[in-house]
Structure 1
Amino acid sequence: MSYANLSGRTAVVTGAASGIGEAVALHLAAEGARVALLARRADRLDALVEKIRAGGGEALAVAADVTDDTSVEAARDRIHEAFGGVDLVVNNAGVMLPNPIEEGRLDEWQRMLDTNVTGVLRVIRAFGAGLVAAAGEGRTADLVNISSIGAHVPFPNYAVYGATKAAVTYLSQSLRTEFGPRDVRVTNIEPGLTETELKTHVDSAELSGQLDGMFEVIGGLAAADVADVVAYVASRPRHVNLRQIMVLPTRQA
């Protein structure tokens, strides 16, 4: 679906090297938005920029790690230099490392917290003031956080991942009290089963098999399905905030 009023927007998409982030970047660029792509894998970002430019879009690859303060700040400075102000931020970078809690994998817990929670906060710190400034100039300004159905529905062995996503969902809700009065919209999107690289992060053969079985029985969303939801919410009239959307495959309860 086409959303013409996205033309002229300037967007930042984290986790843009694959999956939902890549699909969001492609969709926004196709609608006429300038898109800054943030992720760690520079080669994947460069390939995506070439694809967007081949389609007539405008994009900038910025290799950055959301778990590193300096990296995020440098990315912000580079984007401001190239594109000026930003009026749409899609916080999508995330990792999913399920394992039984009793295994006590502190390194995995820390990685999920650093990426899924603190990484989101770093990006908000970097670009939040720009969103407020854009709204103050009368432009549409959006912060879109990608959470997960796991924020609400518990799955065995996914406790820490679900907790990080519950934090994102609550953060989004609370931020509306700070950003909303200044005309910055905050949207929290919670996808269900979606075909992305997240399932390749699962290092347990048993858990990986369980996940494959769920996809086989239920079927998964395509990353482009979630990207379409992002584009839809960002294209609503400036006074309309779709605050929270849970998007699931039809067979997922």
Structure 2
Amino acid sequence: MSYPALATRTAAVTGAASGMGAATARLLAANGARVALLARRAERLAGLAEEIAAAGGQALPVPVDVTDAAALTRAADQVRDWAGPVDLLVNAAGVMLPNPLAAGRADEWAKMVDTNLTGLLRVIDAFRADLVAAAAAGRTADLVNVSSIGAHVPFPSYAVYGATKAAVTQLSAGLRTEFGPLDVRVTNVEPGLTETELGRQIDNPELAEQLAGMFRLIPPLAAEDVADLIAWTASRRRGVNLRQAVLLPTRQA
């Protein structure tokens, strides 16, 4: 998994404390990119930054909550002070809180919408000018949004989560019409069943066991599989935009 074209890139990765975000940050840094690590859990970020540095890479831990617009503005300034404008932005932060709609979990609905959709928008807004400027200067500029196959494959009790991911998929398509003419590439990635910490947030025992059963039945993707696709996508020549990618475990229909 060697991508020499990434060696000149400055990346910001949200959700970098675990899962796909952490795996993507590791791989980008291993290929020479300077990587800003954005997530809420400061200790996790510090540990990952130390791990990357020990392997010869460059990483900056930036504890921030994507639901806090003012904090994101400060975080973006911190990243620029460290490494200059970002030319590769990976939105991997997200929460998955399934429950039947009849459960009336407005708290979960709000959290998923504010993190998965509005939070992603806040992150894009915080780094939008960086991406546009990088492209205008003739550099490769990428916005990568991590959605889910839940965007178009319905699962019982996952309606709100799926709706937020469908919004991310549609948003990515819309942003491509705005950013493409400015030479900023927009990629939407939709992973299937993947081994991450998302399932640990489920507070419905029946649904938690249902998800565990799927993992027993279907060997899942690793977070590193998703990271490899993101790195491959970002390393294509400047004039090529992989607009959307769906990746599934082989046994998942």
TM-score range (shorter-chain normalised) is over 0.9
| CA distance in 1: counterparts of 2:43 and 2:189, whole angstroms | 28
| 1:36 corresponds to | 36
Paired residue type of 2:145: N
Q: Which amino acid aligns with 1:212?
A: A
Q: Deviations over 1:177-226 (max 9, x none)?
A: 00000100000000000000001011111101110111111111000000
CA distance in 1, matches of 2:4, 2:251: 31
Give the distance between the partners of 1:57 and 1:224, measured in 2 at CA.
17
Q: Does 1:61 align with 2:61?
A: yes
Instruction: Give the Cα–Cα distance (whole angstroms) in 1 for the partners of residues 156 and 174 of structure 2.
Output: 28
Q: Distance in 2 between matches of 1:219 and 1:149?
A: 16
The residue number in structure 2 matching 1:102 is: 102
Deviating beyond 6 angstroms after TM superposition, the runs of 4 or more aligned structure 1 residues are: none
Partner SS state of residue 252, structure 2:
coil
Aligned to 2:17: 17
Within-5 A mapping of 1:54-133:
54-133=54-133
Counterpart residue number, 1:26: 26
Structure 1 residue aligned with 2:233: 233
| Equivalent-residue separation in structure 1 for 2:19 and 2:134 (angstroms) | 28
Instruction: For residue 24 of structure 1, report the CA deviation from its aligned partner.
Output: 0.2
Query: 1:240 aligns to what SS in structure 2?
Result: coil
Measure how far apart 1:8 and its partner are: 1.3
Return the letter of the residue paired with 2:126.
A
Deviation per CA, 1:137-191, whole angstroms, max 9, x where unpaired? 0000000000000000000000000000000000000000000001000000000
2:36 alignment partner, SS class: strand
Give 1:41's aligned amino acid.
R
Which one-letter code corresponds to 2:230 in the other structure? V
- Deviations, residues 64-108 of structure 1 (Å, cap 9, x unaligned): 000011111110111111111110000010000000100110011
Which residue number corresponds to residue 187 of structure 2?
Answer: 187
The aligned counterpart of 1:5 is 5
Which amino acid is 1:35 matched to? V
Match of 1:144 in 2: 144
Q: Secondary structure at the match of 2:221?
A: coil
Q: Which runs of 5+ in 2 are unaligned?
A: none
Distance 1:2 1:76 in 2: 28
Cα shift at 1:59: 0.4
TM-aligned CA deviation for residue 16 of structure 1: 0.2
Residue type of the alignment partner of 1:107: D
Q: Percent identity?
A: 68
Local SS of the residue matching 1:7: helix
* Matching residue's letter, 1:197: E
Aligned residue for 2:194, secondary structure, equals coil
Give a deviation string over 1:93-133, Cα, whole Å, max 9, x none: 00000001001100110000000000000011000111000
Output the aligned Cα RMSD: 0.5
The within-5 A match list for 1:154-233 is 154-233=154-233
Q: Tell me, what secondary structure is at the counterpart of 2:239?
A: coil
Which amino acid counterpart does residue 164 of structure 1 have in structure 2? T
Relative to structure 2, which stretch is displaced further, 210-219 or 24-33?
210-219
AA paired with 1:162?
G
Q: State the TM-score, normalizing by the size of structure 2.
A: 0.99
2:18, 2:163 → 1: CA distance? Answer: 23
CA distance, structure 2, for counterparts of residue 205 and residue 123 of structure 1: 33
Residue identity in the other structure for 1:113: V
